[in-house]
Amino acid sequence: MKKFFHITLLVAGTALFAGLAVFLLHREYCPHSLRTNAVPEDPFSVTYQAGAYEETNAVLDNPYRGYYHLYGFTLSEEDPGDTAGRIKQYTASGRQMMLVQINLKNYADTDLSENALRQLDIILSEISLSGHQAVLRFLYDWDGKALETEPSSIDRILRHMDQLSETVNRYADSIFVLQSTFTGNCGEMTQTKFGSHEDNRLLMSHWAQVTAPSIYLAVRTPSHLRGVTQTRTPVSAETAYDGSLASRLGLFNDGMLGSVYDLGTYDDTPNADTAEPEDKGTREEELAFQNDICRFVPNGGEAVLDNPYNDLDRAIADLARMHVSYLNCDHDTAVMDKWKNTIYHGGGCFDGMNGFDYIDAHLGYRYLVSGSSLSCDSFQNAPATLTLTIQNTGFAPAYRQFDGTLCLTSRNTGVRHLIPIALDNRTIDGGSEVSFSLPLDIRSLSVGTYEVAFSLTDPCTKEPILFANRDTDESGNVSLGTLSIDPVSPEELLSFLLSR
């Protein structure tokens, strides 16, 4: 059902009406601007009619979210072949997200060579040119033999971090997350010579120090995260996005939904009040922890091993609690096939969709404009206020801030007025709804009717952020409603003043 919001803004047009306004209006009601300034000229009224906001079940191809494919490269002194061509082929997959693993095992006992760094530059350059977003993981092992292939000294890893950082920072706009401390089997920080909490803290602190603060970092488990930050409450709304290590440090879980313990991610004994920050909690305790901190830092990984914990209904509930933004769509095949062959029956526009596509639509953020209204105080020279309500039906927030724009298009002339809007979309948690008050200078517009639309753009990729509203065009503009500005006759103005 459409909602209608009617706001009448009446402005005096002559000194006579200005004097009459001052006489008739009580001093406490009369705005300061009216008492000290001449009443503005050209009386007019404003009517705003909000649109109907309906959600589509389309999967939105937005940055920093969604299913991903995994690709691996081993840096070496040998001719790597057509690395740029391989990346072009990979980025043609149709998905914006990609996990790229860079194996450094050939340099475990030496500095990275210029040739190795040049290979990395080619990889990241092509990803940047393609407009994709990468999750990067540097490691020394793909075969479960990290104890054999890792450097013999932690200082070598620190040195590699220093060498890699210049290239990584050059492409910071295209890198969403840097996973791991480079250590362990498959870079998962287990079965490693450098697995103590002290080692993890040293490595991750150094990685944070030498990389751009806009890039998020991630460790394998909540226990790892608390071991690095040395607190059970590492980040809050007050400290989020301040560039500190804690505000950048998220999670990756390659045992996601694999068992009650997520394959060693959780424990079976509840934490006591005296527990150290790095002690593992039960599944319920660690899901509650992720539900809290992953409002501010991203989470992603792989769903593995067909079992009751990744049955569709349970998977959806846990993915939402963990605020998962990105997920491997190739592994585990058994889990992906189970979701593809299970139908979602939760009602709404998604009812009847298969589980794989439902999860795809809800990974990360999914914005829906759910309401708008316009208000303005009579005789006040201040701008009108457009209240815009945005619902996030996805599992997670967007951890990057986007640029907002209001677009007012005149029905009479076709002229478009583009108005930059400052709002922090990162505050819209997954499964929540937030209203923003946006100033609108009505008096800068001519008499007529305007189609009002809103859009968000990612300043890094320059891509529009698509909304889940049916009334969203290909450029990302979602229709809000119509605004009519009409002239007011002196008789109507006098009648209004006398009625006060």
- Chain segment 152-165, per-residue pLDDT in tens: 999 999 999 999 99
Mean pLDDT of all residues in 27-38: 31
Could you say which architecture CATH assigns to the domain 66-362? Alpha-Beta Barrel (3.20)
Q: Which residue has the tokens 């809007």?
A: 421
* Other C-beta atoms lying within 10 Å of the C-beta of residue 407: 19
Mean pLDDT of all residues in 315-342: 98
Percent above pLDDT 70 for the chain: 88
Hey, is 219 helix, strand or coil? strand
Residue of 392, 393, 370, 379 whose CA lies nearest to 316 = 393
Residue of 341, 384, 391 whose CA lies nearest to 8 = 384
Q: What is the pLDDT of residue 274?
A: 79
Hey, is 85 helix, strand or coil? helix
- pLDDT at residue 290 above 90? yes
- pLDDT at residue 26 above 60? no
Q: What is the pLDDT of residue 13?
A: 40
Mean pLDDT of all residues in 478-486: 94
Band (233; pLDDT cuts 50, 70, 90):
very high
What's the whole-model pTM score?
Answer: 0.90
Q: What is the pLDDT of residue 497?
A: 65
Phi, psi dihedral angles at 261 (to 5 degrees): -100, 0
Tell me the one-letter amino acid at 454. Answer: F
Do the Cβ atoms of 61 and 360 come closer than 8 Å?
Answer: no
Average pLDDT value over all residues in the chain: 90
Q: Which residue has the tokens 């953020």?
A: 365
Q: What is the pLDDT of residue 27?
A: 29
Domain limits of the chain? 4-57+366-499, 66-362
- pLDDT at residue 495 above 80? no
Strands 97-103 and 133-139: parallel
Q: Count Cβ neighbours within 10 Å for each residue of 439-474 and write b for 16 or more, e otherwise.
A: ebebbebeeeebbbbbbbbbebbebbbbbbbbbbee
